[in-house]
Amino acid sequence: MLEELLKFNKLGSKDELLFVLFEALPTSSAHSKNDLRKFCVSNQFSISGSFNGIIKLLEFISFIKINDDKVFINKDLFNPSFQQNKESYFIEPDFIYCLFNSLKTEKCIDLFFNPDSLKYDFVRDKYYIKGNLIPYKYFPLRNLLITIGFLEWDIEIKSNHLVVNSIFNKIFKQIVDWIIEVRENSKKKRSITQLKKDLERKEEVGKEAEMFVLQFENQRLINHPRISSIKRISEEFVNAGYDIESFNDIETIIIDRFIEVKSYSDVVSFFWTKTEVKIAQTLGDKYFLYLVDRLQMNVSGYKPKVFQNPYEKIFENEFWKKETDTWKITLEK
């Protein structure tokens, strides 16, 4: 709903909002939106340019509900009969609370008030926001907060700073907590989502490279009498330490080539697990490492880089740079 709200450049002045809240809405228990507009414009013509924005704003913060073009007041959040002095309404935190709570619910409160833009002036006991860091799309909300007195331009220090009215310091502390909460949850969600995507992509390219090598082996040994025994085992035996079982040559009748497949792009680099290294050391000359360039494997005639006994030729070779990706830490008692 926020995206719909931000389509309106005008969300009403303070006087227009007060008129709709305390004069127009209480006139009947349910209004048609069109009748409500006519009533507002006939009594305060300036509302004609901001009426739709005001209605969408009040719907966004759940002050009203609209069903079948009828406007209903949500008296759990806003009851005009309880307000003794409408002129002081925006001094109370209710409206501000509902507005920012709605932004929190939409998980965009941290986009409106970027945490990096929020500062606190200890000497003046004032919170302020760097106005130029509020995204342009949120200017209608920024202007609304200025018109109702929540924010004001800080001409005393810098003209591009917006100061939070000190009477709202208490609720603004809660708003800051909401901003941090949404930002942290958003980071976690993005991190988990990205991790899942990375793992899915890693599994996908790994499978593509393995299928390429399987096809390559079948072509290399096309006349082998037991060619059907050449197979991928990586999905059946995830801890085998290699991906494909094959034969060294056409004369071999017992599986004697155990292939680990790694893919790369541009730079030849890969991750080698502890299990794979151990199996490579154990199998020696029967263990083969196939390095597949993902950018080349669909090119006709391309052949992967093949290393027999990679433990000796790579792991113990000083020309290959080895880096630890993780460390296992154990507390010795």
Q: Which residues, including other chains, have CB under 8 Å from residue 206's CB and lie 6 or more apart? A: 234, 261, 263
Packing angle, helices 51-60 and 33-43, rounded to 10: 130
Q: Are 36 and 71 in contact (CB under 8 A)?
A: yes
Q: Which residues pair with 263 in a beta bridge?
A: 292
Question: Could you state, in order of their start, the residue ranges of all structural domains in the chain?
Answer: 1-100, 201-315
The per-residue pLDDT for 292 is 93
Spatial CA neighbour of 133 closest among 123, 142, 124:
142
> 57: exposed, middle or buried (C-beta count within 10 Å: 0-12, 13-18, 19+)?
buried
Residue spans of the chain under pLDDT 50: none
- For the chain, give the secondary structure using H, E and C: CHHHHCCCCCCCCHHHHHHHHHHHHHHCCCEEHHHHHHHHHHHCHHHHHCHHHHHHHHHHCCCEEEECCEEEECCCCCCHHHCCCHHHHHHCCHHHHHHHHHHHHCCCHHHHCCHHHEEEECCCCEEEEEHHHCCHHHHHHHHHHHHCCCEEECCCCCCCEEEECHHHHHHHHHHHHHHHHHHHHHHHHHHHHHHHHHHHHHHHHHHHHHHHHHHHHHHHCCCCCCHHHCEECCCCCCCCCCCEEECCCCCCCCCCEEEEEEEEECECCCCCCHHHHHHHHHHHHHEEEEEEECCCCCCCCCCCEEEECHHHHHHCCCCCCCCCCCCCCCCCC
100-136 burial: b if 16+ Cβ within 10 Å, else e:
bbbbbebebbbbbbeeebbeeeeeeebbbbebeebee
pLDDT in tens, 22-61: 888 887 667 788 888 898 899 888 888 899 999 999 999 9
The per-residue pLDDT for 147 is 92
Rounded alpha-carbon distances, angstroms, from residue 225 to 16, 220, 221, 232, 245:
88, 13, 9, 18, 15
- Fold (topology level) of 1-100: Arc Repressor Mutant, subunit A (1.10.10)
Q: Is the pTM of this model over 0.85?
A: no
Q: Which residues, including other chains, have CB under 8 Å from residue 323's CB and lie 6 or more apart? A: none
Spatial CA neighbour of 280 closest among 252, 309, 251, 313:
309
Q: Are 60 and 5 in contact (CB under 8 A)?
A: yes
Q: Are 162 and 131 in contact (CB under 8 A)?
A: yes
